[in-house]
Structure 1
Amino acid sequence: MLFAQILCIRHRYYREIETPKTLIKADDSKYFTQRLDHFDNTNQQTFQQKFLVNETWYDKNGGVAILQVGGEGPIQQSDVGNLWSADQFSQSMKALNVELEHRFYGESIPQPLNYTFLSSRQALADLTEFAAYLKKTYGVTKIITYGGSYPGNLAGWARSRFPFVFDAAIASSGPLMGRTKFSEYFQHDEMVLESIQTGCKDKVKTAMEQIEDLLLNDKKQAAILLKNEKLATQELTELDISNIISLLSNFAGMIQYASESQQELKDFCDIMMKSTDLKTDYVTWNFEYSGSDDLGPMFYDEMVEDTKLSSWTWQTCTEFGYFQDSDFFTSRISMDYYYHLCLDAFEPYFTQAGIKTTTELKEFMTQVVDGEMNAFYGARNQPRSKIFYTNGKTDPWSELSMNPEFTWADGQYLPDDSVQRLIPGSHCSDMRTKWSSNKVVRAEQLRKLKEWINYQE
């Protein structure tokens, strides 16, 4: 499902291609009493927010902490282990390595569930409260925020908006610009596939067209191909077809999380170019990539029910957009589909806000996502110092982040003592210690962090 394509650290593909032989283990999970609403002093409700700590390298005399920002998924012990550059930085700076789980994810879900209290602004306030706790409990004096993907946004924004709390930031692969209609995502995928093998993207387009035709004209065969008996008998709506086509877009995740060798991209294009039955080979590949005979909720109504408990979808519907529509691969993955899904999944919240139609939701998102959110966070205009931005060339999310080709005329600004790098790699690849091609940028990040916090060896 494309709503989930932004996930970084805990994505399935990364976990499968590398299983660590050894990990620096964290202490047992800990919990911090966090305010539910930082912007209403009359609301004294709290919830338990999970965090992980690795004190292996920590020297209290130095007082440095690397605060990993949790994102749109549960945190886990390996996050503060040696798979990630945060561990290398902690070792070199004798720092405390700690990660705070994002509110409404993992074990940090306030009860009763009320998405009104889930927003990036509340999450940033969580970080400032937690920073005070770190200083009091662990003797921390300097804090570096660290994150990739959406947490990369938060890491940079934390430093930008609270420079008196956070001393520097590593912001990897963060899509800084809110954008409701994110057509550039699939446009980037087209470019990547074509660079792998000429004609590959056209084969994908043809396969998706053939599957759509099958859904419209031969449901029994579609049921066999997609391993779902209900497809043969249940009437399909336009939204059902859009939903199924969306589920069959795993190539987008493969590109986003391409490995260092990109061998899986080459293998995929090789399959598509040699295929004599595109729709069958393409569907088979999707099942193999997902590692399951179940690609997800096939029918739109099922997807709505599944989405009602999706915290990240709530954030995309109310803050960031990031809706990846496509004019090339298929017209079925459309903005209309996303607007309907948001409205149907979170109907009580939108109804309370006076939003009852997709037209009204579109107007709301245009105002909030494309307007107010970018005005509040600055989009590519980030004047704060001591932030290190990285993006992988293969990563489609780089289209919404810092771009070395952009200038003030494009709405982009960085001060001289912040850094941006477009590197060989994919989504958050510089954070992965086993990506040898990103060693140079990790070394530069470490040098800059030491310089920015005035670290004394």
Structure 2
Amino acid sequence: MISLRVTLFLVILLTSLNLSESLTRFIHGRRFYHDEKQIRLFKIKNNITDLYYDQELDHFNEAESRTWKQRYWVNDEFFERESGPVFLMIGGEGEENPIWMKKGNWVVLAQKYNALLVMLEHRFYGKSRPTEDMSTDNLKYLSSEQGLADLATFRQFIHTSFNLTNSNKWISFGGSYPGSLSAWFRLKYPHLVHAAVSSSAPMLALVNFTDYLVVVNNSLYLYSPSCPRFIAQAMSQIEGLMMTPGGRSTLEKLFRTCDSIDSDLDVANFYSAVIGNFEEAVQYNKDNRLSRNTTITIDLLCDTMDQGSIGDPLTRYATVNDIFLEEYGQKCLDISYKKFIDEMKSVSWESSASEGGRQWTYQTCVEFGFYQSTDSPKHPFGQNIPADFYINQCKDIFGSEYDLNLLQRAVRDTNTNYGGYTYEGSRVVFVNGEIDPWHALGFTGQPPNSNTETIFIKGTAHCADLYPSSQKDPASLTQARNRIDELIGQWLTQ
């Protein structure tokens, strides 16, 4: 029989009428979705105020005197001014969520250790807009190094504003890219931040991130060994249908595409979109997120793929796509490569690209790579998206000079600057989840040095340790949070 969860989604698919236009929501391993209405109501209810700090535009050019307004938040309800620490939550590649000022494991820790909570939004994301638009010329001011320098000057601003002393030790927190920033902040500015919690942080930049889909496969297999097998069968059916105009027409109807599949780039974009459904579900599986709860999990997708009563594997794969369209209120699946490029080329802060897609794509092109290609044979998703597909996007969006040679140099420089797997910072805990594909670029076993520690959490996904606790949390997650608590207690005495 079809599980209750699958049945529920099929009923919703047949009855829902309120669907919005299609949008790109999952780009280069990052979800870009912000529930503005829910956040606004939460801020009003909890008296959370947006604050702004006059930040330097370019920290590395003394001749550049321009400044801009960088957004931040403060919660001092637990703070003991004489000796309480300062907990800094680092913003990342999207609009920052002020709900973090009241929820999350760091709030629990702040209450225990009488900490001041501050959170800084990353430049070029959310309302932190250093320039009049996101033109390529302006995006040269977007980098992890500029972001770290922002943290340094902001730290000094808070230190002065609150009349703090050396007794008020700083500990940084961050998850995903901000998790990397948290570790790098401790590395580059050890006199400003006493210790760091680095969750789900990719610590090695590389062009072709083949292991991402390998971990997706392994995570699906942990729940259901048959799930990847049915995905492979569906992908084989899709590949066969892609060979003929009639087959493509069938796929357009099955997957409710917004446009016809006209070019080879549309084909690759189609594969990227439908594979992205599984990537997104695995990466954020049961993450206790703060602003938008969803029932889309590995369980649901694999239950769907395993239900023969729905139809053949291709039909089940299309049902997975329907589930995602419904969840995000989308009328259709946008697979047009031209539309995607046009969307990402928009430089206006009023465009959909400003939600983070254009900015994060730029950072992948000039610093990190991280391209989740299908080049590894150790997954069920076919071999249809080479790393070149994403590198060519860099050229199509930002200009011909953003090519493989530039990216290879950028990745080399990033690893040289921060150390990659030879990280030399101290008093840092690296936390990763077994299910999270990003753990493949992090520290999960042997710590990088004797002054750091790793925590590898069985059965959890991206940044699970940072979210509020739940009665459904596995024991491994509770143990991880307890160990982070112990480490903070130790650090504050050192």
For the superposition of Structure 1 and Structure 2, which TM-score range results when normalised by the shorter chain? Answer: 0.7 to 0.9
Shift in Å, 1:296: 5.4
Say yes or no: does 1:145 pair with 2:172.
yes
Query: Please, what is the CA RMSD of the aligned residues?
Result: 2.6
Paired residue for 1:230, among 255, 259, 271?
Answer: 259
Pair 185,54 (structure 1): closer, same or farther in 2 beyond 3 Å: same
Match of 2:186 in 1: 159
SS in structure 2 of the partner of residue 117 of structure 1: coil
Superposed, 1:245-264 pairs within 5 Å as 245-249=271-275, 250-259=277-286, 264=297
Shift in Å, 1:12: 7.5
Instruction: Say if 2:258 and 2:333, in contact at 8 Å, map to a contact too.
Output: no
Say yes or no: does 1:289 pair with 2:324.
yes
Superposed, 1:45-444 pairs within 5 Å as 45-82=66-103, 84-113=104-133, 114-140=138-164, 141-217=168-244, 218=246, 219-228=248-257, 230-231=259-260, 236-249=262-275, 250-259=277-286, 264-275=297-308, 276-290=311-325, 291=327, 292-294=329-331, 297-308=334-345, 309=353, 310-327=358-375, 328=377, 329-347=381-399, 351=400, 355=401, 361-369=403-411, 371-404=412-445, 406=446, 413-415=448-450, 417-424=451-458, 425-435=460-470, 436-437=473-474, 438-444=477-483
**Structure 1 unaligned spans of 5+:** 407-411
102-111 or 433-442, larger mean C-alpha shift: 433-442
Pair 323,372 (structure 1): closer, same or farther in 2 beyond 3 Å: same
Q: Output the CA distance in 2 between the equivalents of 1:81 and 1:229.
A: 40
Instruction: Say if 1:26 and 1:77, in contact at 8 Å, map to a contact too.
Output: no
Paired residue for 2:65, among 37, 44, 57?
Answer: 44
Q: Output the CA distance in 2 between the equivalents of 1:345 and 1:266.
A: 36
Q: Output the CA distance in 1 between the equivalents of 2:469 and 2:177.
A: 22
SS in structure 2 of the partner of residue 33 of structure 1: strand
Q: Deviations over 1:156-181 (max 9, x none)?
A: 10011111000111100001110110
Instruction: Say if 1:390 and 1:423, in contact at 8 Å, map to a contact too.
Output: yes
Q: Deviations over 1:36-83 (max 9, x none)?
A: 11000101111111011111111211242111000111112211112x
Question: Residue type matched to 1:134 in 2?
Answer: I
Instruction: Say if 1:386 and 1:452, in contact at 8 Å, map to a contact too.
Output: yes
Q: Output the CA distance in 1 between the equivalents of 2:47 and 2:438.
A: 31
Q: Aligned pair count? A: 427
SS in structure 1 of the partner of residue 140 of structure 2: helix
Instruction: Say if 1:35 and 1:46, in contact at 8 Å, map to a contact too.
Output: yes
Pair 32,120 (structure 1): closer, same or farther in 2 beyond 3 Å: same
Q: Output the CA distance in 1 between the equivalents of 2:429 and 2:45.
A: 25
TM-score when normalising by structure 2: 0.81
Shift in Å, 1:224: 1.9
Instruction: Say if 2:257 and 2:334, in contact at 8 Å, map to a contact too.
Output: no
Question: Residue type matched to 2:285 in 1?
Answer: A
Q: Output the CA distance in 1 between the equivalents of 2:267 and 2:296.
A: 31
Pair 295,41 (structure 1): closer, same or farther in 2 beyond 3 Å: farther
Match of 2:27 in 1: 3
Q: Output the CA distance in 2 between the equivalents of 1:110 and 1:446.
A: 36
TM-score when normalising by structure 1: 0.87
Shift in Å, 1:260: 7.2
Instruction: Say if 1:148 and 1:174, in contact at 8 Å, map to a contact too.
Output: yes
Pair 48,79 (structure 1): closer, same or farther in 2 beyond 3 Å: same
Q: Deviations over 1:78-126 (max 9, x none)?
A: 11112x1110111111111111000000000122231110000000000
SS in structure 1 of the partner of residue 125 of structure 2: coil
Which structure carries more relative contact order (alpha carbon 8 Å, separation 6+)? Answer: 2
Match of 2:486 in 1: 447
Q: Deviations over 1:180-207 (max 9, x none)?
A: 1000000111112222222321211222
Match of 2:21 in 1: none
